[in-house]
Amino acid sequence: MKTRRDFLQKLAAAGLALPVLSTMAKGSAMPILDTTPYDGPMLRVAIMGLGGYGSRVAEAMQDCKKARITGVISGTPSKIKDWQKKYNIPEKNCYNYSNFDAIKDNPDIDAVYVITPNALHREQVIRVAKAGKHAICEKPMALNAAEAQEMVDACKKANVKLLIGYRMHLEPKTLEIIRLRKEGKFGKILFFQGLSGFRIGDPTQWRLNKQLAGGGSMMDIGIYSVNGARYMVGEEPVWVTAQETKTDPVKFKDGVDETIQFQLGFPSGAVASCLSTYAMNNLDSFFLDGEKGFAELKPATGYGPIEGRTSFGELNFPHVTHQTVQMDEMAEMILNGKQPVVPMDGAEGLKDMKIIDAIYQAAKTGKKVPLSR
């Protein structure tokens, strides 16, 4: 791995200030300012899919200390040219969806961040793994649990890491609530509510295309409440019930869910009541209730700032750019084997896909669906 020694020395010589990131104090979710210049290995990342979220990740990575963009993969030549100029990416590190298998011979790329429509994740991650590169995949990681399992197996076979873009697993206020829950501050957990939704716009976008998205709101915003229920309660659910509502069958065609309410049951007896929708705004909140106290995040999963409070007071941690922290922390996971408080690997993504499969089954049949532990 190359380092940034020369780059840092040049900055120091020029008297320029280094960008610094918030990191986590040991044993706490409280961000502290890390002013130590970094001179270790860099995770060299190719971004696959140069759309809106890919651009957000790329911008955030400009402040990363341990990860940087070294390549791009896109089906749109004009986007590749724009990114080359903006991020100083050489021609030899630019690929399209047909030829990116050639990254296996490119030492400038350690990992590929797959930020494409859901239906493409399985094939693209498997190809990345076969090329011997680590894979980072946006959520949901696949169309269903069967595909997710194939991705996990392919990365294991190739001896590469598979990480999923669960940026909220590194968010300070979220981590503080998890810490308090683990310490028993809320007592026995009784209830979780997760509301995830917004009114979706352009009816022609891929998120409303069954073939590309694999569904509707549940395959996009809904995964936040699925995943959030698990890390907030601290258990794996054992059953699911669900109900689907559709008010606009023209916009939300067959197989594209508009609104799904779902309930989860946990081994301890705790229950979760959640909603996923593409038809309502102002829905981004988590609420956790225990015998001794409560915690609330509202907004809970947006790009920030996240707002939080507990029965013990407000959570007043500084806002940090989620994607910057995510990519630096993922560099640590890939390069140094660091383990996050809440897992971010393919196995974690697979658990969510099994629950989503069960939610769709429950909504279709009207029956309670058991989940294997």
User: Which residues are known to be catalytic?
Assistant: 139, 224
- What's the token pair of residue 326? 């995510």
Q: Which of 332, 287, 276 is nearest to 311 (CA)?
A: 287
Distance CA(357)–CA(366), nearest Å, equals 14
Residue showing tokens 């001896």: 159
Q: Give me the DSSP letters along 34-63.
A: E-SPP-S--EEEEEE--SHHHHHHHHHGGG
Is the Cβ–Cβ distance between 280 and 197 less than 8 Å?
Answer: yes
Distance from C-alpha of 41 to C-alpha of 56, rounded to nearest angstrom: 23
Q: What is the largest CA-CA distance in the chain?
A: 67
Locate 17 and state its tokens.
Answer: 């200030």
Task: Report how far residue 113's alpha carbon sits from residue 80's, in angstroms, rounded to the nearest whole number.
Answer: 15
First to last CA, the chain: 40
Q: By CB neighbour count within 10 A (0-12 exposed, 13-18 middle, 19+ buried), where does 308 fall?
A: buried
Q: Tokens 């660091």 label which residue?
A: 338
Judge contact between 200 and 240, C-beta under 8 A. Answer: no
- Residue 170 structure tokens: 């590194």
Q: Which DSSP letter does residue 137 get?
A: E
Q: What span, in angstroms and rounded, lies between the C-alpha atoms of 172 and 342?
A: 12
What are the CA-CA distances from residue 288 to residues 12, 44, 193, 351 (Å)? 47, 38, 7, 21
User: Taking a C-beta distance cutoff of 8 angstroms, is the pair 216, 205 a contact?
Assistant: no
